[in-house]
Structure 1
Amino acid sequence: MTRSEIVMDFLLLEWVGKPIWMWLGFLAIVFALLAFDLGVLNKKDKEMGIAESLWLSAFYISFAMLYGGAIWWAYEAGHISTEDGTHAGVTYFTGFFIEKALSIDNVFVISLIFGFFAIPRMYQYRALVWGIIAVIVLRGIMIGVGAALVQEYDWLLFIFGAFLIGTGIKMMIVPEGDSDISKNPVVRFLKRHMRVTDQLHDQKFFVRQPDPKSGKLVVWATPLFLALVVINLADLVFAVDSVPAIFAITTDTFIVYTANIMAILGLRALYFALSAMVHRFHYLKYALAMVLVFIGAKIFWNQIFGKVDPVISLGVTAALIAGGIAYSLWKTRGAPPAANALVAEKEAIERAG
C-alpha cells in the first residue's frame, strides 16, 4: 500500500460518527481564522474600539452563517451524511443562536476578571483569542464524552432535559450572588501554588525572574496568565448549560461541536462592544431562561411523543431571544449605565458560580 493510500484510508476513518477529514478540515478553518485574526488584523496590541469590535463580530457571524449554509448543502447533497440537509442546517443554526445568546452572560464575567487582574484593554483581545485554543480542546472533550454517553444511554437525555428546565427556573427566581472575584477558590488556589508577578509584562504569560529566596532565575506567571486560566474555567461552567442545550437540539456531534465553536469565535470579537453596553441587556436573562425551559421540555416531548420539527425549535428560540433583546433595550432606555451594570454583573456572576 502506498503512502497516499494510507493517508486516504486514515482520512476516511470515522471518529464520533464523521470522517476524520471533516474534523481536520473544520479545525484547519478555525486555526486559519485565528492566525489571520492575530497575525494580520490584530498584529499589534491595541485597544479595540466598539466600531472595530462590531465589524469584526459581523465578519465572524457572516462566516458562521456561510459555514452553516455549506453544512446544509453538503448534507443535502449526500456528501457528508444521508441525513436530511434541511434538518442538519436548521439544527446547526439553532445550536449557533442558542450558544451565542447564552454566551452573552459570559461577557460580564470576563470583564470582571480582566478588571480584577488589572488587564489593560490593549492586551485583552489577544488573551481572549489565545483562550479560544483551550476552549476548542475543552469543549471538544465535553461534547465527545456527552455524545458517547447519550449514544450508549439515551435515557440521559431526560436528565439533560430536567437540568435545563431547573437551570431556567433558577435563572428566573434565584437572587443574585456575591461578585467578589478575590473570594473565588480558583483564584486563591492559583495565587497560593504559583509564582505570580505583581506587574504585567506586556502580553507575556510567563517571564523569568530571580527567586526572592535563592536568587536563581525561575519562571513566574503573570497576571495575564491567571486571567486567561480563570476565564477558561468560567467558560467551562457556562458550557454546563450550553452543551446539554445543543444536545437537546441534535445528537449529531459534528453539528454540536461546529455550532458551539463558531458561536464562541464571534463572541471574543463582540466582547468589546457588549462590555460597553451589557447593562442594556438586563431582561435578556429571562428570555434565556425561557429558552432553556423550552429546550428541556422539548427533550421530554421528543422522547415520549416524537421529534418536534426543527424549524419550530429555531423559530421559538429566535423569537424568545429577539424578544428578550428588544424588551431589554426598550426597558433600559435612558437608564443610568452604572445602576444597570451592577445588576447585570451580579446576575452573570451568579451563573458562573
Structure 2
Amino acid sequence: MDVSLTMWTLTVVGLCALIAVDFFIGGRKPHEVSLREAGTWTVVWIVLAVLFGVGLLFYGGGQASGEFFAGYITEKSLSVDNLFVFILIMAKFAVPTVYQQRVLMIGVLIALVLRAIFIAAGAAVIANFSWVFYIFGAFLIYTAWKLIEDARKDEEDEEYEENRLLKSIERRFPSTDTWHGTRMFVRDNGKRLMTPMFIVVLALGTTDILFALDSIPAIFGLTEDPYIVFTANAFALMGLRQLYFLIGGLLRKLVHLSYGLSVILGFIGVKLILHALHESGLHVPEISTPLSLGVICAVLVVTTASSLYVSRTGGGGSAGDGADGKGGDSGKDEASTSR
C-alpha cells in the first residue's frame, strides 16, 4: 500500500492525540482502576482499531484491511500472553495498586517507541534482503516449539527475574526503596536517586524488547507493509493497560493459550518460509491473507473455549500450569521467569 508522508504524519499525530485523551481522562490522576473503567476503555480501543481497519478497507482495499486485522489480532493475542509477565513484575516490585496504571502507561509508551524503531529496521532489512524471511520463519517455528515445551512443564511459584540490563543499571546508579508518588527521581542529601517507579517502568520497557523478538517477525509474516505493521502494533499496545486490569485475574484460566500461540507462530513461520521460497523463484503455494486471518481466529476461539472448559471442570493438569505464564518468545526466559 502506497502511504504518503502526509498520511504517516496524520496517523502518528492521531495516535498521539488518542494517547493524550486516554492519559488526561483515565491516567492523569493515580487511582485504582475499576473493572468498569477497564472494560469501558478496552471496548473503546477495540472499537477504534476496528474503525481504523474499516477505514483501510476504503483507503487501501481489502488486502490492506485484511492484513491489518490479521496483524492486530496476532499482536493482541501475543500481548495477552505477555500480561502474565507484567503481573510478575508488579508483584516483584510490590507496586501499589494506585500507581499500577501510571507504570503501565509509561511502559507501553516506551514499548511503542522501541517497536517503531524495530519495525523501521525490519522493513529496511526486508526491502534489501528477501532471504531474511528464512531466518524469521525458522525463528518463529523454533519459538513455537519452545512454547509447547514450556507449556508441558510442571512449573509453580514463578517469579520475575530482572534482566542483565536492569541489574547493571541498579548496580551503577543509586536508588531508593521508598515510593515517592509517581516521581521517578528524588534528591536525598544532595544525591539523585532512582525511585521504584523508574525501576519498574524500566523493567517493563526492557522486557518488551524481548517480547518484540517474536511479535515483530510474526506480523511481518502477515504483511510487509511498514504502515500496517506499525498501526497494528500501536492499536494492540495502546489498549494493553486497560486489558491488564480487566483480565489480570482471568489469565490463569487461559491454560491452553501457549498451545494456541505456538500453533499461530508455527503457522506464520511456515508462511514466511513459503514466501521466501516463492521469492527465490520456486513455484510453491503461498498462504493468502484471508486464510491466515481465518486460521488465527479459529485457533484463538478453540484455545479460549478449551481453556475455559478445562478451568471450569478443574482438569487443567500440568500443561495448564505451564501455560499460565509463558511469554510468546524464546528470549523471554531470562527476563520473565526464574526456574
Asked if these proteins are the same fold (TM beyond 0.5), I'd say: yes
Q: Residue 333 of structure 1: SS of its match in structure 2?
A: helix
Offset, 1:171? 0.6
Q: In the alignment, which residue of structure 2 is the partner of 1:118? A: 94
* CA shift digits 1:91-145 (9 cap, x unpaired): 0000000000011121111111111111112111112112232222210110111
Aligned-residue identity in percent: 33
- 1:224-235 → structure 2 map (5 Å cutoff): 224-235=197-208
Matched, 1:74 2:59: yes
What are the Cα deviations for residues 184-228 of structure 1, in whole angstroms up to 9, with x where unaligned?
433422221121111100111111221xxxxxx232111111111
Q: Deviation per CA, 1:130-187: give whole Å up to 9, x if none.
A: 2232222210110111111111000110111111111101111244779443564334
Describe the shift of the 1:17–1:103 C-alpha distance in structure 2 as closer, same or farther (beyond 3 A): same
Report the CA distance between 1:23 and its aligned residue: 2.0
Q: What aligned pairs does 1:158-197 form with structure 2 within 5 A after superposition?
A: 158-174=134-150, 175=153, 179-182=158-161, 184-197=163-176
Paired residue for 1:271?
244
Local SS of the residue matching 2:56: helix
Identify which of 25, 30, 37 aligns with 1:40.
25
Q: Check 1:69–1:346 CA distance in 2 against 1; reply closer, same or farther (3 A cut).
A: closer
- The answer as to 2:105 corresponding to 1:129 is yes
The residue type paired with residue 265 of structure 2 is: L
Q: TM-score, normalised by structure 1?
A: 0.85
Indicate the RMSD between aligned Cα atoms, in angstroms: 2.4
Work out whether 1:27 is the aligned partner of 2:12.
yes
Q: Which has the larger radius of gyration?
A: 1
Q: 1:245 aligns with which of 190, 215, 218?
A: 218
The within-5 A match list for 1:1-353 is: 18-75=3-60, 85-174=61-150, 175=153, 179-182=158-161, 184-210=163-189, 217-302=190-275, 303-304=277-278, 305-333=284-312, 335=314, 343-344=322-323, 346-348=325-327, 352-353=332-333
The 1-side partners of 2:234 and 2:247 are apart by 19
Q: Which structure's relative contact order is higher, taking Cα pairs within 8 Å and 6+ residues apart?
A: 2
The amino acid that maps onto 1:287 is: G
Note the alpha carbon deviations across 1:300-326, whole angstroms, 9 max, x for none: 223332432211110011100111111
Which structure 2 residue ranges, 5 or more long, are not aligned? Answer: 279-283, 334-339
Cα distance, 1:348 vs. partner? 3.8
What amino acid does structure 1 have at the position aligned with 2:73?
Answer: F
Instruction: Describe the shift of the 1:207–1:67 C-alpha distance in structure 2 as closer, same or farther (beyond 3 A).
Output: same
| Distance (whole Å) between structure 2 residues aligned to residue 161 and residue 350 of structure 1 | 13
TM-score, normalization: structure 2? 0.88
